[in-house]
């Protein structure tokens, strides 16, 4: 049995006996011990499994390019990054793109956009068409109802696709979604939105106006969040496949 086969066998065994995550945590720790972190393998791991909370901040920083792959540079680079944060925030205030009243999640978004040269003149969301496509595949009747209520163009896309569900999902659920986003799979956002509609289908179908539907979706019950994210990840894998380590 090859090393990969043994690892896969152990993963299946741990999952069956209720210890899923044990083998995953060990695998991540092995990846993090490398002198030069393998970005591709960390991306693949993040897309396949939820990151352990104790390593999430480090992995996110490496995947986002905040920290370099080499461990020995981390302390010095973080000092530079703190100075960079202050400079970018000051610049956004000077050009009046943010203020003291701007929500923190939007400040972070604008900082990233300024750094990457993508600061927009107006807000736009490139994912609604994909959202309609996959909702139609999963439940065409539900999409038809939204169109009949003229609700499709008024859904909370800003919360879903601009804030990446910040303020919509509780932190524990949000972290699992952002694991995928940070590792390069923004499309997970589409499937979270689709699954929210599928989960609350009965409620949404009972509402007959765009205003009522939007108001409900902006304040969904929090107790279903973990199940929604799990099902959304399953949908993502169903339509987009499961990421695999490259050799």
DSSP per residue, 145-182: HHHHTT-GGGS-HIIIIISTTBTTB-HHHHHHHHHHHH
Distances (CA, A) of 54 to 21, 25, 50, 59, 111: 13, 10, 12, 10, 26
- The CATH code of the domain at 20-64 is 1.10.10.750
- Out of 55-59, 158-162, 199-203, 206-210, least confident range: 158-162
Closest among 128, 131, 110 to 119, alpha carbons compared: 110
pTM of the complete model: 0.76
Q: What is the reported pLDDT for 189? A: 95
**Mean pLDDT computed over every residue of the chain:** 88
Q: What is the reported pLDDT for 37? A: 95
b/e string for 175-199 if b means 16 or more Cβ within 10 A? bbbbbbbbbebeebbbbbbbbbbbb
Integer-rounded Cα Rg, in Å, for the chain is 20
Q: What is the reported pLDDT for 53? A: 92
- Out of 122-126, 135-139, 218-222, least confident range: 122-126
Rounded-to-integer distance, Cα 202 and Cα 240, Å: 27
Q: What is the reported pLDDT for 15? A: 52
Rounded-to-integer distance, Cα 131 and Cα 26, Å: 36
CATH 2.170.190.11 for the 127-240 domain, yes or no: no
pLDDT band at 239; cut points 50, 70, 90: very high
Looking at the chain, the whole-number percentage of residues with pLDDT higher than 90 is 66
Q: Domain boundaries in the chain?
A: 20-64, 73-116, 127-240
User: pLDDT at residue 36 above 90?
Assistant: yes
Chain center to CA of 167: 13
Coil vs helix vs strand at 66: coil
pLDDT band at 113; cut points 50, 70, 90: confident
Q: What is the reported pLDDT for 246? A: 44
Closest among 215, 75, 72 to 156, alpha carbons compared: 215
**What's the whole-number mean pLDDT along residues 124-132?**
81
Closest among 145, 140, 133, 131 to 196, alpha carbons compared: 131
Task: Yes or no: say if 173 and 229 are a contact pair by the CB < 8 Å rule.
Answer: yes
Rounded-to-integer distance, Cα 47 and Cα 28, Å: 13
Strand partners, 191: none
Rounded-to-integer distance, Cα 220 and Cα 167, Å: 11
């Amino acid at each position: 049995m090859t090393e990969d086969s043994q690892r896969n066998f152990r993963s299946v065994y741990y999952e069956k006996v209720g210890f899923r995550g044990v083998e995953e945590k060990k695998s991540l720790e092995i990846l993090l011990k490398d002198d030069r972190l393998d970005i591709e393998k960390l991306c693949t791991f993040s897309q396949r499994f939820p990151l352990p909370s104790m390593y999430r901040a480090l992995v996110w920083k490496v995947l986002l390019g905040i920290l370099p792959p080499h461990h020995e540079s981390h302390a010095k680079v973080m000092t530079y990054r703190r100075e960079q944060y202050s400079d970018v925030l000051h610049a956004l205030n000077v050009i009046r793109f943010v203020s003291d009243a701007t929500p923190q999640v939007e400040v972070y978004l604008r900082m990233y956009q300024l750094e990457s040269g993508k600061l927009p003149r107006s807000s736009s969301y490139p994912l609604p068409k994909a959202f309609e496509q996959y909702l139609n595949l999963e439940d065409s009747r539900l999409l038809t109802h939204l169109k009949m209520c003229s609700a499709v163009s008024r859904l909370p896309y800003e919360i879903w696709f601009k804030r990446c569900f910040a303020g919509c999902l509780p932190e524990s659920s949000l972290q699992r979604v952002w694991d995928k986003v940070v590792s390069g799979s923004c499309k997970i956002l589409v499937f979270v939105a689709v699954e929210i509609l599928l989960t609350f289908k009965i409620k949404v179908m009972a509402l007959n106006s765009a205003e009522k539907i939007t108001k409900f979706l902006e304040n969904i019950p929090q107790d279903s969040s973990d199940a929604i994210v799990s099902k959304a990840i399953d949908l993502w894998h169903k339509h987009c496949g499961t990421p695999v380590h490259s050799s």
